[in-house]
Amino acid sequence: MDWYPLKLTAHIRRYQFGDRLIPEHLRKQGLPDGIVAETWEISDYRETTGTVTNGPLAGRTLHDLTLSDPDGLVGSGWRGPHFPLLAKFIDASHMLPVHLHADDETAARVHHEPNGKTEAWHILWAAPGATILAGLKAEFSRQALFDAFVAQDYDAVMSRYPIQAGDTIYVPGGIIHSFGPNCLVFEVQQTSDLGQMVMPVDLYGRSHSQDEWYANINATLDELKTHYQPRPNPGLDLPSGNNRRTIGGVGPYFALERWTLTEPYDEPSHPQRCITLSNVGGTVQVESAGGTETLQQGESCILPAGIGAVRIVPDAEASLIVCYVPDVQTDIVEPLRTAGYRDRQIQSLGEISIA
């Protein structure tokens, strides 16, 4: 197949915590009026799977392409029930629910799903004083956690950190968390929508009965993990000429990078993995043997594994969020060590085993 950069339809969620930050800050086009809490830019989760909007494959779904040519789209030798990455913009004009997502073991055992949901957040905009809640301050009894959540006193048990634009926060499955208000976030995650919440209302602001609320808290506590403490980090820069390449969140399921381009950037062929691009800055041209696509601010695309070498040409200064499923040692550890970073700095990016 002659691959080229694939643009997809975006799935929209109108959760109560959102507002209009995505069209206002990102200038994303084609959005409806009213609340736009999330746009799922790259998704193959059930009914939200994107449909290709450009080129010869227009009208084909991401799910169809993933199953019909996994080697060419996702990477040589890859097999799975769905495209492995889900990328979204999140408007946290208001505070998100305090919640967690199942890890892989819980997803299989409890929910009979193929995988859980580890994620990373990259902060695109944050008002002064914006914060996240992520992980627990210490070890607490189940009763102490239950009582804190009923009292809605989240700071009594959870760690709160200030955030600013450019921070990345890696959050494994099972770690309780929230962010907002007053921030705009890019999130990459495993392809899943499993979640448990401890709030007295649902994502649309509808109140639970007390029995439902307490049952949700207990379900959350059943899935809670405490092995990892998320913290905001500014990432680690790698040399890239006059361009800037910053590695943010990293783990076995994905790597997230921020590329700031002031001159053309050449990405070599790597048939072992695809790349997703989400444009949060100026317009770029994405050139490949299969053709050239324009990627405007607020747009995303997939560079299939079989696309070959790609050149990204900014019209002026451009800023891209780049995600892929890494070989952690080859793609992350070795280049960062070569650049002079110590192992402790590298491991601060997420869940990274150092060989």
Residue at which a domain ends, from 171, 196, 223: 223
Question: Is the pLDDT at 187 greater than 80, yes or no?
Answer: yes
Statement to judge: residues 296 and 152 lie in one domain: no
Statement to judge: residues 111 and 247 lie in one domain: no
Q: Calculate the average pLDDT of the chain.
A: 97
Tens digits of per-residue pLDDT, 278-304?
999 999 999 999 999 999 999 999 999
Report the C-alpha gap between 159 and 143 in whole angstroms: 18
Statement to judge: residues 112 and 216 lie in one domain: yes
pLDDT interval class at 354 (50, 70, 90): confident
Mean pLDDT across the stretch 112-139? 98
**Does residue 240 lie within any of the structural domains?**
yes
Tens digits of per-residue pLDDT, 80-97?
999 999 999 999 999 999
Question: Is the pLDDT at 150 greater than 80, yes or no?
Answer: yes
**Does residue 193 lie within any of the structural domains?**
yes
**Does residue 230 lie within any of the structural domains?**
no
Look up residue 194 and give its two tokens. Answer: 């499993």
Which segment of 94-103, 238-247, 302-311 scores lowest on mean pLDDT? 238-247
Mean pLDDT across the stretch 324-331? 97
CATH of residue 319's domain is 2.60.120.10
**Which residue pairs, CB below 8 angstroms and at least 24 apart, start in 284-287?**
284/312, 284/313, 284/314, 284/315, 284/318, 284/320, 285/312, 285/313, 285/315, 286/5, 286/310, 286/311, 286/312, 287/311, 287/312, 287/313
Tens digits of per-residue pLDDT, 215-235?
999 999 999 999 999 999 999
**Does residue 33 lie within any of the structural domains?**
yes
Question: Is the pLDDT at 59 greater than 80, yes or no?
Answer: yes
Strands 318-324 and 255-261: antiparallel
Statement to judge: residues 204 and 152 lie in one domain: yes
Statement to judge: residues 59 and 191 lie in one domain: yes
**Does residue 343 lie within any of the structural domains?**
yes
Report the C-alpha gap between 288 and 311 in whole angstroms: 7
- Determine the pLDDT at residue 355: 73
Report the C-alpha gap between 106 and 227 in whole angstroms: 15
Mean pLDDT across the stretch 311-323? 97
Look up residue 278 and give its two tokens. Answer: 């989400």
Tens digits of per-residue pLDDT, 162-174?
999 999 999 999 9
Statement to judge: residues 123 and 21 lie in one domain: yes
User: In three state form, how does the secondary structure of 279-332 look?
Assistant: ECCCCEEEEECCEEEEECCCCEEEECHHHCCEEEEECCCEEEEEEECCCHHHHH
Statement to judge: residues 204 and 242 lie in one domain: no
**Does residue 3 lie within any of the structural domains?**
no
Residue at which a domain ends, from 223, 246, 276: 223
Question: Is the pLDDT at 74 greater than 80, yes or no?
Answer: yes
Percentage, residues of the chain above pLDDT 90? 98
DSSP 155: G
Statement to judge: residues 56 and 146 lie in one domain: yes
Is 228:120 a contact under the CB 8 Å cutoff?
Answer: no
Statement to judge: residues 277 and 325 lie in one domain: yes
Compute the chain's Rg from CA coordinates: 20
Q: Tell whether the torsion through CA atoms of 292, 297, 302 and 303 is positive or negative.
A: positive
* Structural domain count, the chain: 2
**Does residue 231 lie within any of the structural domains?**
no
Statement to judge: residues 32 and 125 lie in one domain: yes
**Range of the structural domain that residue 343 is part of:** 236-347
Residue at which a domain ends, from 188, 223, 258: 223
Statement to judge: residues 312 and 343 lie in one domain: yes
Statement to judge: residues 187 and 277 lie in one domain: no
Mean pLDDT across the stretch 239-268? 96
Mean pLDDT across the stretch 33-60? 98
Question: Is the pLDDT at 239 greater than 90, yes or no?
Answer: no
- Determine the pLDDT at residue 352: 96
**Does residue 84 lie within any of the structural domains?**
yes
